[in-house]
Each structure stands twice: as C-alpha cells, then as structure tokens.
Amino acid sequence: MKKSLGAKTIVYPTPVFVVATYDSAGKPNLMTASWGGICCSTPPCVAVAIRKVTYSYSNITERKAFTINIPSETYVKEADYFGLVSGKEADKFAVTGLTPVKSDLVDAPYIGEFPFVLECKVRHIIEIGLHTQFIGEIMDIKAEESMLNEKGALEIEKVKPFLFAPESRAYYKVGDYLGKAFSLGKEI
Amino acid sequence: MKKSLGAKTIVYPTPVFVVATYDSAGKPNLMTASWGGICCSTPPCVAVAIRKVTYSYSNITERKAFTINIPSETYVKEADYFGLVSGKEADKFAVTGLTPVKSDLVDAPYIGEFPFVLECKVRHIIEIGLHTQFIGEIMDIKAEESMLNEKGALEIEKVKPFLFAPESRAYYKVGDYLGKAFSLGKEI
C-alpha cells in the first residue's frame, strides 16, 4: 500500500552536471544543474533544464552552445559551489582555480581538470515553466586518458562520479557493481 | 590534456526508469528507459525519451499518461528484463509476477511492489531523432511507507536504487553518503 507524497521532483539517481558557457564578453561561467539527462541516441543529445534568472540561461540562448562537465568525488565542493553563487557576482573559474579550455567544436569552454566533458550545440529550447529545457546535440566527448580502460572506453570506476538526492539534498558516491545490463534480465 | 571519444551518449549517473502504460485495450505494459530525468521544478515535470518502434510509445501517445517506477536493487533482473522484451510479445507484469495498480490520477498503471512511483500526464512531446521525448507533469509521487524516514520523506538509503553506466552497459549500486548539497560549497 503506497502513501501519497504530493507532486514533487524526486528521482534516483539524479545527476550533477556542471554546465560551462561564455557570456557576451567572452567570460567563461559555470553552474551546477541536476535537472537533465541523455534524451536521444541518434543524433546523440543531452537535455539540461535551467531557470531564466540564471547567468547561464542568457549565455546559452546567446551562444547556442554549452558543455556538460561531469565532476568526480574530488570536486564535490566545487560542484556544490557552482550552484550556490551566480556568475553575475563571481568569476567561478578564478575562485576555484579551475582552468577554462576553449572547445574546438562549440562556442563554450570546458573544465580542464574534470574527468570528462560533453560539447553541445543547442538544437531545441523548450519552455516548460520555471525551467527552460535546452536540448544539445553532443558533438564530442573529451576525457582524460587516465579515465579510460585498456579498450579506450570511459570507466565509471575510474571517473568516480557522484549523484544528487533531491529533497534530502545530499550527494552520494557511486557504489559497487551490481550486474550486466541487457543480460541479467535473460534469467527471468 | 583530453582525448576525443567521439559523439557518444555517456553521462554518469544515468537513471533506470521503468515506464508503465496501458495499451488501447487496457493491457498494462512496462519498459525500461535510461534516457530521462527531472526537467522542471514548477510545474514539477520529468522527461523520458522513447523510440517510436516501442509498444510504450504508442501507449503514451494514445493515453497521454505514464508512470515512472523507480526500482530497488532487489528488482535489477526485472528492470533489465523490461528493456529486453517488447510488450507486443509478452505480458511483462504476468511474466515477472509484479502487480499493476491503476493510478487514481492518470490513465496509467504503476508497479505495486516498487519503492516509489511518479504519476505523470503528458505536457510536451518533442521529436528529437531516433528518440521522442515525453515531458510529463508529475501529478503525485506514491511511495511505500517503509521507504520513508521519521519525517515522512523519501530516504535514498532505504530505497536502494541503482544506476546505469552507458557504453560499459552495467548497473551500479548507490554508494556512501558524500556530503550535504547547497552547503559543502560554502567552504570554497
């Protein structure tokens, strides 16, 4: 028997995306967004939802580009900070000492130190309500070589990403391997 | 120095959503979708992307409703199975012995046994490419009482959800508590 909790925004796991953009003067900015996820395989696309009042919203609508930077556990304080302060008030790259690297594919910077990044061109803008959803086509993923396995593929156990739990507003590590997808279900 | 991996669909963490729908005859169906996430706080909305060839696609476009059911580790085999087989060929509720419960708010069923579910009405349909994105307004969340803490809030450590790692196509548990969101960043 289930109990009603009301109309809330809770799913598990929720990601921690650090979105990087340029403003009109070319100053790089960062913000953390947890409302998002992959939304299409072909063309490869990712969605991220952002409020209109943010500095990043203006940057994305103007530049039609952004990058999504996936933080490792090591950068949990920085990722949290990027969600607390507006780019109108602070140079978040300077404050944290992280390096803005100009993307060679899209009109946005990415974080040099983070394990991997998605370089995106805006394809759709959907006005939903408090949040506007930007759907970006993923032009490339760039990753640190130390995050790849012997086959050259990204390895989640090396990246050590973390997740956000809405409502309890807490971060959790990724835990143990549970099993092989598109395989375990064959035992049913 | 980062290495180019090409245009791929990898973010960490990626969720495991079990989407439940009714077909035109009222038969309940289930499918697993990992392309999705919360996309707006007000109104509370969640996005899920589904291929046109699926049985669930037809169900959602017809009924304009779906539920998202969050599995616990206990149901990893079932969740994987729902992504392997089409509802055209199998009655997935019957095969797994799970119970379809009719939602009192939207024209869709939910899984009685899963820790919590989001009941959604379709608000936007966005044709992206191979996948179509459905944005649903979350009308209610219903949860097992055993998944709530003493304040009546959902507790991720009780739910024990898991996540999907694209490309390596593996499931991982949620790990240890890492820290408090909207707080850790104040130390920067």
A133 touches A53 (CB < 8 A): no
Sort out which chain B residues have CB atoms less than 8 A from A183's CB and list them: 80
pLDDT of residue A76: 98
Chain pair A-B, CB pairs under 8 angstroms: 370
CA distance B58 to chain A (A): 18
pLDDT digits (tens, 9 = 90+) for B64-99: 999 999 999 999 999 999 999 998 889 999 999 999
Name the residue in chain B with its Cα closest to that of A38.
B35
CA distance B24 to chain A (A): 26
Greatest CA separation found in chain A?
A: 57
pLDDT of residue A88: 86
pLDDT of residue B1: 83
* Alpha-carbon span B157 to B88, nearest angstrom: 36
pLDDT digits (tens, 9 = 90+) for A134-149: 999 999 999 999 999 9
Cβ–Cβ contact B150 with A under 8 A: no
A108 three-state secondary structure: coil
Most B-contacting residue of A1, A4, A5 (CB-CB within 10 A), to test interface: A5
pLDDT digits (tens, 9 = 90+) for B108-162: 999 999 999 999 999 999 999 999 999 999 999 999 999 999 999 999 999 999 9
Q: Do A41 and B129 touch (CB under 8 A)?
A: yes
pLDDT digits (tens, 9 = 90+) for A94-110: 999 999 999 999 999 99
* Alpha-carbon span A166 to A78, nearest angstrom: 19
Cβ–Cβ contact B25 with A under 8 A: no
Sort out which chain B residues have CB atoms less than 8 A from A47's CB and list them: 37, 39, 47, 133
Q: Do A171 and B177 touch (CB under 8 A)?
A: yes
Nearest to B161 among A2, A13, A187 (CB): A13
CA A133 centroid distance within chain: 13
pTM as predicted: 0.97
What is the predicted ipTM?
A: 0.97
User: Is B53 a residue whose pLDDT tops 90?
Assistant: yes
> Scanning the structure block, which residue is given the tokens 């899209």?
A106
pLDDT band at residue A124, thresholds of 50, 70 and 90? Answer: very high
